[in-house]
Chain A
């Protein structure tokens, strides 16, 4: 298991499944308070967005930079005045081709700043530079993403104080050929970053400037690199180092009007108002009381033979080196995240002993989504073709209950379902649709029709009616005698027209009669059903002509062959029902056993096979069977 957890640790660092800080027992890892969540209202969203948008547009005004002094204790010059040139650097949107973002520099002016002003008697006036805020508004040029203030501090020795200006110009013109005595410092300050966030608020600023005179004049940020936060903290926290370096002091305030070039020296802002003085990182305090705690891990093997112990000083998990600041948290973490082991906590004098043993009850079976296992190699859930629905599987890690939850507890679709007819897996997107609801699948309909077609003692018209009736019963699943009237009514409703167009009117009447004979429908039902059918006849002209034609054909036949043979249909139009099972009311149509030549020999069987017919009619109508 140790190997597994080592591997899982690395994976969890690369692509975490959950964040430790969101766990209830790891509250202390949550750096962000949730105070705002409590009084959060959805209604306030619009307001918030509006106010944010308002903040985006910069009010017309000025940023006034009042330079208070340039402090550099290590400066051994006896210079009094440093020249501070303020440049606004606009960094534009970086195009893909460019190696670095195009930038634009606007010189805002220079100011003479006293070097190492005496704390006791500060100069009464201070030079000021006003930057109009218009210069931060998007202009017509290339889209500017961020604004940075650059400060270039030049110090020339005191003695050539007089010809400072020409010297400066000289230096400007032939950049690198600097005079030996001139020192050059630089610093930068972000006004707006690329997310259009303003960094500068009113306040006193001490900005560390770096010595450029020896190095190249490039801005240090040109080639950015990752920096360790800890290093940053150290440099920030170490005030001594901060004080030793060259520091440019100025006061910044936003005001609606520009200030004069030289203003009275302003008072410093009160300290407590300056947010920069609030310590950023407050860790390191809570460790003090636990530090003495020693944790001993004791590995217990099969028959309680304690074979290995390890002692550690801090509360880091030995497998994932996750810092659980408290013992409780550590134990919770061990139990829940490393459930292949069991952990038993034993308090000892120096701290805690944790007995580690293999969890025999651990169920290591696959607990993820089954669809991840069966998906085709090229198809992934996060494909570029758009979002893909996934089945939800929840593996519950923590569950507050009485018994000791050593077994994983999973909810959701943690199994694969299959379609009933095709056995193909059901994908998450298909889960909402019930694919197999029908009880008359196509094959069963076909098979029924094929089987009816195979009957040798039933004529074509009867077969047609049988098919229609049987498929109707199958489709709606009529199961009881009491449903037969409903079945008749629906049959006329759905199939009435088709029935009449197929010229099966008489067949249906006979069918209804036999239902009546078997006591499945009442006389009223018989009557109303036939009446409804006749209504349909009245509605459609085509049906009327069919009935007329069939009547004429029958009359023709009668007149030709005499009254004896009643059922004959050369053209197949008249489908006289066989009436072997009928009683008196249809007796007039009873066959006399003299088939017409058109009837094939196979069909003749039906005349003599009275018993077989009975069986057949029973097998065809399940409902009949029930009643008899």
Chain B
């Protein structure tokens, strides 16, 4: 556990070379894109934190003023923060986007062997709802994802981490209702299918991804093998309709796996009618060895976060920029067979985020993009513009928030922004209406 956090805090030595190369590259890029202007706003906010705020442990930074960027009207103001008693890094946080307008803002934060569910009451504060601890003290949860029970409509929370065990928690009954073993190593991210709440995708250090059916407890497919990732898979995302998966990892590559193929459709269908009591053979898990698209051209270091944005993809590495790109040529409607090229559309530049395992987040409507960095700052982009190049950038910082922000999460309507940090703190920012 400790080893990992160290590992995370600094890129591996073997990447130093590529890093140095990269800085040159990004420097060039910076020159090129400096004319865009949106990136320059981040520079304006590089205000050094007040030196008096060095002692930060043990006290809760409440009622602290926010530091809005000078040039733009700030869009988020600091609301409050809490610290979890274990003080270990919180690696994941997710708002439950299945809760609609009028329902409470509930989010889960994971880290150490804890899973904690909080509510953000209207106005101010963070209310603790439930807290789960894994019996194994060595467990370190890295990620969580929300789904719901199809029959009852009750929320379900999937969590996973260093032990490679996926657990499904039912907050309604406050119990762990399911667990899945099979991954050969730690699980770095979990995602639920956007249309089918029973399909869970797990992304693992064992170089593979797995698709599970949590209704019939079946591992539907394994994505990986000869043409799969050659190192830890760090992140993956379903597209809007759930027809494609984009995965990325330590091998610097991004790979696209289609779910709308006949074999895959059939496997998913089979997983529902699978009855373990009637069969002496295990479910015929589909082994998908060949991605439908793969590229190593976007990043030159660990790719630790990826999100679909329509037919575009947002992905980031430890190179201080989120790249908006598209597989194939810009004008292509559909991905051509054997396509190898890709088109970069825009780069969102920021600062001081060279460590890996830092994830950005978008709200449900994909209008706000938020990312924390290793010094506790949050970069927010307003994507509600016609060209991503015009996206306005904001920086949020708080004098007491100085450790790396591993994950941000936005409520469904983007009114609340949550950041979780390496020191076990959770920070709430509210949108200024």
A residues contacting B by CB (< 8 A) are 374, 376-378, 385-386, 388, 419, 421-427, 429-430, 432-433, 435, 441-444, 446-447, 450
B280 touches A423 (CB 8 A): no
Contact A378-B177, Cβ < 8 Å, known A423-B182, A443-B287: yes
| 5 closest residue pairs by CB, A with B | A443-B289, A424-B182, A422-B285, A423-B182, A447-B226
Contact A424-B177, Cβ < 8 Å, known A429-B280, A433-B280: no
Q: Is the interface of A mostly helix, strand, loop or mixed?
A: loop
B285 touches A424 (CB 8 A): yes
**Chain B residues with CB under 8 A of A388:** 277
Q: B56 at the A/B interface (Cβ < 8 Å)?
A: no
With contacts A376-B178, A419-B282, A433-B281 known, what are 16 further pairs, Cβ within 8 A?
A374-B179, A376-B217, A378-B177, A385-B277, A422-B282, A422-B285, A422-B287, A424-B182, A425-B181, A426-B282, A427-B282, A442-B287, A443-B225, A443-B287, A444-B226, A446-B290
B residues contacting A by CB (< 8 A) are 175-179, 181-184, 206, 217, 219, 222, 225-227, 276-277, 279-282, 285, 287, 289-290
**Could you write out 29 A-B pairs with CB less than 8 Å apart?**
A374-B179, A377-B176, A377-B177, A378-B177, A385-B277, A388-B277, A421-B222, A421-B285, A422-B182, A422-B219, A423-B182, A423-B183, A423-B206, A424-B182, A424-B285, A425-B181, A425-B182, A426-B282, A429-B276, A429-B279, A429-B280, A430-B280, A435-B281, A442-B287, A443-B226, A443-B290, A444-B226, A446-B289, A447-B289
Q: Which residue of A lies closest to B176 (CB)?
A: A377
A377 to B276, CA, bound (A): 15
Closest Cβ–Cβ distance, residue A264 to chain B (whole Å): 71
**Chain A residues with CB under 8 A of B179:** 374, 376
A423 to B182, CA, bound (A): 5
**Chain A residues with CB under 8 A of B285:** 421-422, 424
Contact A430-B175, Cβ < 8 Å, known A374-B181, A447-B226: no
A421 to B224, CA, bound (A): 11
Closest Cβ–Cβ distance, residue B180 to chain A (whole Å): 9
Q: Which residue of A lies closest to B210 (CB)?
A: A422
A-B contacts counted at CB < 8 A amount to: 63
A376 to B176, CA, bound (A): 9
A450 to B225, CA, bound (A): 15
Contact A430-B178, Cβ < 8 Å, known A421-B287, A423-B183, A446-B290: no
Q: Is the interface of B mostly helix, strand, loop or mixed?
A: loop
B178 touches A377 (CB 8 A): yes
**Chain B residues with CB under 8 A of A442:** 287
Q: Which residue of B lies closest to A386 (CB)?
A: B277
**Chain B residues with CB under 8 A of A441:** 287
Q: Which residue of A lies closest to B183 (CB)?
A: A423
Q: Which residue of B lies closest to A433 (CB)?
A: B281
A416 to B50, CA, bound (A): 56
**Chain B residues with CB under 8 A of A376:** 177-179, 217
B217 touches A424 (CB 8 A): no
Contact A435-B287, Cβ < 8 Å, known A423-B184, A443-B226: no
A450 to B337, CA, bound (A): 13
B282 touches A424 (CB 8 A): yes
**Chain A residues with CB under 8 A of B217:** 376
Closest Cβ–Cβ distance, residue B172 to chain A (whole Å): 15
**Chain A residues with CB under 8 A of B177:** 376-378
A386 to B276, CA, bound (A): 12
Closest Cβ–Cβ distance, residue A384 to chain B (whole Å): 11
A423 to B187, CA, bound (A): 14
**Chain B residues with CB under 8 A of A444:** 226
**Chain B residues with CB under 8 A of A429:** 276, 279-280
Contact A430-B287, Cβ < 8 Å, known A374-B181, A376-B217, A423-B184: no
Closest Cβ–Cβ distance, residue A118 to chain B (whole Å): 76
